[in-house]
Amino acid sequence: MPEQSYPRGPSVAFDRVGKTYDGAVRAVEDVTLTIAGGEFVALVGASGSGKSTLLKMINRLHEPSSGSVSIGGEPVNSVPVHELRRRIGYVFQNIGLFPHMRVGENVAIGMRLKGEKQDEARIAELLELVELPREFAARMPDALSGGQRQRVGVARALATEPKLMLMDEPFGALDPVTRDTLGQAVRRLHDRLGLTTIMVTHDMAEALLLADRILVMEAGRIVADGDPHAMLTGKGGAAADALVAVPREQAHLLSRLEQGE
Amino acid sequence: MNAAWSRIPDLLAQHILLTAAALLLGLAIALPLTIWSARNQAVARVTLGFASLVQTIPALALLALFYPLLLLMSGLVGGGIPALGFLPSLLALALYALLPILRNGVTGLVNLDPAVVEAADAVGMTARQKLWLVEAPLVVPVLMAGIRTAAVWTIGAATLATTVGQPCLGDLIFAGLQTQNWTLVIAGCIASAALALIVDALLGMAENGLRRRRRVQVWAALGMLVLGVVAAIWPVLPTGGAEKRVVVGAKGFGEQYILARMIGHRLENAGYRVTYREGLGSAVVFGALASGDIDVYVDYSGTIWTNEMHRTDTPDRAAIVKGVGQWVAKTHDIRLIGPLGFENSYAFAMRGADAKRRGIETLTDLVPQSGEMNFATDLEFLERPEWAAVKRAYPLHFRSAQAYTPSFMYRALESGKADVVSAFSSDGRIAKLGLKVLGDPRHAIPGYDAILMVSPQHADDQRFIAALRPLVNAIPADAMRQANYMVDRDTDKVSADTAARWLERRIGLASGK
């Protein structure tokens, strides 16, 4: 466990959570788990392992079939769903910028929903936070590159100063260079703003390099739970080892190529 | 020529108002249904299925169906719902406009980028915020394309509103078709096509502006449309004296148009504001008088005798007129002012030379030769009780029997495609074409005196009755035939109004105007 240096982010707890689709397909099975406030957790697993479903039960984009989810000790269904979501940042692979609104309006949407006026200074500050020039506020989303769009997506998620950030394959559609820089930018924001961050990814290397704690999912269950070091040293079990093996093997091959072997 | 174009502004204004009202009503119904259907697949199946079903009903039939429906509803609530004119046209056209709006709206909503919808939920929008901030702005361009389609359809279909007595550009087309006045038909077609093109262009401009997010362009286009509707309302607004408004009805042929104008002229001179509902079907027009949708029209005694009273006996002409007068007063509170003085009977006619060669003078002579002859009738004769009565009295078996519009029926006889026609005795073409009218020695066909009938509302209106009474027994058959020929002939034809003025002078009833 990493040290608790970011006490401001809330904890997230799953209590015997299950999710079945159409009464038959079991996406998530009996997950009990606590994520401490301030942790950067990566949920890793193959497609269909249930990791996205588990994540979306936190902001109720999915409802659990059994069990309960709570944030900071409060069950997620104790407040109206739109109020819950306004307190949680959400970034996902397909970004979902509103194509009819300027970048600035997209970033400020959370404030608008609460009835606040559009604050240009705050928009500039948010764009700066995700390392975009403030002039971008006046552009339409379709005038941006994929990486720039996802930066706007992150800025939008941070606009209402949430303490909990949910990310569903946030860098999945980006090229490797953009992916790396944006990943590091998110990690810096996590540290600087004292967030609790839960990131779903199928890329173990990304998880190892960014997260404090890695949860491996397989067939709807958590099959490994530990810090990156534990994963790399074989303490995560067979499923984790299989996922770690790929980037490890690539790293070996690359270093051998570098040495001219 | 000029007469055709001079009627356009008024009818165009009516046409614009009718289509604008129908589109707005269609939108008001379609928009909530669109949202509901996009949220619920079962609802979408029902609404889209219903709208598609409506589309499969021919517009003409849909309009006609609203007449009995509204009559029934009016009966249920104790009267007061007009079954002719604006209301049935509005309802039928609004229903017709539903499908394109609904289908485009639902398609647009269902096909919204799922990522955008997920983002809208995830940032914490309520259902209402999602609708107004995200779904509506993104679907409006698609919806606008549907509204455009609906507008063009509605403008075209509205020409059919003539058949339920709503003034519109269809009046020109239908009157032109009946009297083979192609100038009128073309005037009506050009006006409605031009209207459709202009409205489509303006809505297209608005749609384009919405897609490119150019607000000025959208407002300019919508502003011009609103201006057009306002300009159309202006001349239609009642200019006082609304209590003296009366409606003159007419069936769909030349003689009826002429008589309606004569009635209208007399009522105008008596200080009434007159509107015309022309081209009404025989079946609709009597009911329209009884329910007060029209105030006065001319029918034919034999028609009421056989079709409404279901009588099969044929007493003399005077007895039929008297019987009809008593019956309509007793059963419908309608007042029969009197006969106009001429008869427009069904008359079997042949080419003169042909009749001579075959030695045919009467229907009795026709019977043995009918098997080798072709019969042409107007659109309704074969379904009417008169035809059944004739067949009972004379066992006719024609080689073929074909229905035509009246003008084409005479053409068929002239060209030899038909040998016998069911002509009208007051038709000017009988004399001009040298036709032989066959005698009816067994009196199978009743008398068809033209009779002037007044709705229950005006049955005791002395001023109204007094204005019309001079027409009673004032029109000799020969004068009527000549007037009919003026509008029915192929060349040099005149408008019904001109023929009416001519007839007024001929019988000494010309007004001072």
Residue B160 falls inside a structural domain: yes
Q: Are residues A26 and A126 in the same domain?
A: no
Q: Are residues A218 and A125 in the same domain?
A: no
Q: Do B125 and A96 touch (CB under 8 A)?
A: no
Residue B84 falls inside a structural domain: yes
Q: Which residue has the tokens 């509205």?
A: B158
Which own/partner pairs from B182-191 qualify as long-range (CB within 8 Å, at least 24 positions apart)?
Answer: B183/B1, B183/B4, B184/B4, B187/B4, B187/B5, B187/B7, B187/B8, B188/B11, B188/B159, B191/B8, B191/B11, B191/B12, B191/B15
Q: Are residues A58 and A173 in the same domain?
A: yes
Q: Which residue has the tokens 């339409």?
A: A140
Q: Do B118 and A94 touch (CB under 8 A)?
A: yes
Q: Are residues A46 and A155 in the same domain?
A: no
Q: Do B123 and A84 touch (CB under 8 A)?
A: no
Interface check A199 vs B, CB under 8 A: no
Which of the residues in chain B have pLDDT under 50?
1, 240-242, 512-513
Instruction: Out of B416, B437, B458, pick the residue that ends a domain.
Output: B437
Residue A12 falls inside a structural domain: no
Residue B281 falls inside a structural domain: yes
CATH of the domain at B474: 3.40.190.10
Instruction: Out of B211, B236, B261, pick the residue that ends a domain.
Output: B236
DSSP string, B283-316: HHHHHHHHTTSSSEEEEEHHHIIIIIS-------
CATH of the domain at B54: 1.10.3720.10
User: Which token pair is B264?
Assistant: 């209208």
How do residues A119-133 score in pLDDT, each as one tens digit? 899 999 999 988 899
Interface check A110 vs B, CB under 8 A: yes
With b for 16 or more beta-carbon neighbours within 10 A and e for fewer, the B46-82 pattern comes to ebbeebeebbeeebeebbbebbeebbeebeeeeeebb
Interface check A194 vs B, CB under 8 A: no
Q: Are residues A131 and A193 in the same domain?
A: no
Domain range for B81 is 2-236
Interface check A113 vs B, CB under 8 A: yes
Q: Are residues B259 and B379 in the same domain?
A: no
How do residues A63-117 score in pLDDT, each as one tens digit? 999 999 999 999 999 999 999 999 999 999 999 999 999 999 999 999 999 888 8
pLDDT at B472: 93
Question: Which residue of chain B is at minimal alpha-carbon distance from A153?
Answer: B119
Chain B: closest CA distance from residue A172 (Å): 14
Residue B241 falls inside a structural domain: no
Residue A8 falls inside a structural domain: no
pLDDT at B241: 45
Domains held by chain A: number? 2
User: Which token pair is B215?
Assistant: 């607000």
Dihedral of CA atoms A174, A176, A182, A186 in degrees, nearest 10, equals: 100
Interface check A156 vs B, CB under 8 A: yes
Beta strand pairing call for B245-251 and B273-280 = parallel
Q: Which residue has the tokens 């809208």?
A: B120
Residues in B touching A98 (Cβ below 8 Å): 116, 119-120, 133-134
Q: Are residues A82 and A197 in the same domain?
A: yes
Classified as helix, coil or strand, B434 is coil
Residue A34 has pLDDT above 90, yes or no: yes
Instruction: Out of A144, A161, A178, pick the residue that ends a domain.
Output: A161
Q: Are residues A190 and A71 in the same domain?
A: yes
Instruction: Out of A142, A161, A180, pick the residue that ends a domain.
Output: A161
Q: Are residues B330 and B356 in the same domain?
A: no
- Alpha-carbon span A86 to A162, nearest angstrom: 8
Q: Are residues B55 and B123 in the same domain?
A: yes
Q: Are residues B328 and B451 in the same domain?
A: yes
ipTM for the predicted complex: 0.90
Residue A23 falls inside a structural domain: yes
Classified as helix, coil or strand, B67 is helix
Tally the C-alpha atoms within 13 A of residue B91's C-alpha that lie toward its C-beta: 17
User: Which token pair is B204?
Assistant: 């297209």
Q: Do A82 and B137 touch (CB under 8 A)?
A: no
pLDDT at A208: 93
Average pLDDT of chain A is 90
Asked if B255 and B480 touch (Cβ cutoff 8 Å), the reply is: yes
Q: Are residues B208 and B104 in the same domain?
A: yes
Q: Do B133 and A98 touch (CB under 8 A)?
A: yes
Single-letter amino acid, residue A130:
V
Domain range for A112 is 95-161
Residue B511 falls inside a structural domain: no
Chain A: closest CA distance from residue B28 (Å): 25
Q: Are residues A36 and A116 in the same domain?
A: no
Task: Determine the residue among B121, B123, B211 to mutate to test chain A binding: the one whose Cβ has the most chain A Cβ atoms within 10 Å.
Answer: B123
- Alpha-carbon span B422 to B386, nearest angstrom: 11
Residues in B touching A94 (Cβ below 8 Å): 114-115, 118
Q: Are residues A136 and A252 in the same domain?
A: no
CATH of the domain at B415: 3.40.190.120
Classified as helix, coil or strand, A139 is coil
Q: Are residues B60 and B34 in the same domain?
A: yes
Within 10 angstroms of residue B456's Cβ, the number of other Cβ atoms is 17
Chain A: closest CA distance from residue B121 (Å): 8
pLDDT at A8: 74
Residue A217 has pLDDT above 90, yes or no: yes
Q: Are residues B96 and B208 in the same domain?
A: yes
Chain B: closest CA distance from residue A209 (Å): 27
Residue A239 falls inside a structural domain: yes
pLDDT at B405: 78
Q: Do A82 and B119 touch (CB under 8 A)?
A: no
Nearest to A67 by CA among A10, A11, A12, A13: A13
Chain A: closest CA distance from residue B455 (Å): 60
Q: Are residues B85 and B188 in the same domain?
A: yes
Residue B135 falls inside a structural domain: yes
Q: Which residue has the tokens 């930018």?
A: A185
Beta strand pairing call for B273-280 and B335-343 = unpaired
Residue A38 has pLDDT above 80, yes or no: yes
Q: Are residues A184 and A138 in the same domain?
A: no
Residue A10 falls inside a structural domain: no
Within 10 angstroms of residue A20's Cβ, the number of other Cβ atoms is 15
Q: Do A98 and B115 touch (CB under 8 A)?
A: no
- End-to-end Cα distance, chain B: 22
Interface check A115 vs B, CB under 8 A: no
* Helices (H), ranges, A48-116: 51-56, 81-86, 103-107, 109-113
pLDDT at A4: 43
Q: Are residues B276 and B372 in the same domain?
A: no
Instruction: Out of B396, B419, B437, pick the residue that ends a domain.
Output: B437
Residue B512 falls inside a structural domain: no
Residue A3 has pLDDT above 70, yes or no: no
Residues ≥6 apart with Cβ < 8 Å to B464: B246, B267, B270, B272, B295, B296, B454, B458
Asked if B138 and A101 touch (Cβ cutoff 8 Å), the reply is: no
Residue A256 falls inside a structural domain: yes
Q: Are residues B158 and B25 in the same domain?
A: yes
Q: Are residues B452 and B420 in the same domain?
A: no
pLDDT at A151: 93
Instruction: Out of A146, A161, A176, pick the residue that ends a domain.
Output: A161
Q: Are residues A131 and A184 in the same domain?
A: no
User: Which token pair is B132?
Assistant: 């107004």
Within 10 angstroms of residue B285's Cβ, the number of other Cβ atoms is 26
Residue A81 falls inside a structural domain: yes
Question: Which residue of chain B is at minimal alpha-carbon distance from A56?
Answer: B122
Domains held by chain B: number? 3
Q: Are residues B131 and B272 in the same domain?
A: no
pLDDT at B3: 59
Q: Are residues A213 and A115 in the same domain?
A: no
B interface with A, Cβ–Cβ < 8 A, is 113-126, 129, 133-134, 137-138, 213
Of A59, A85, A96, the CB nearest to B116: A96
CATH of the domain at A228: 3.40.50.300
Residue B203: exposed, middle, or buried by beta-carbon count in 10 A (0-12, 13-18, 19+)? buried
User: Which token pair is A77?
Assistant: 């269904």
- Alpha-carbon span A241 to B414, nearest angstrom: 100
Residue B387 falls inside a structural domain: yes
* DSSP 8-state assignment for residue B131: I
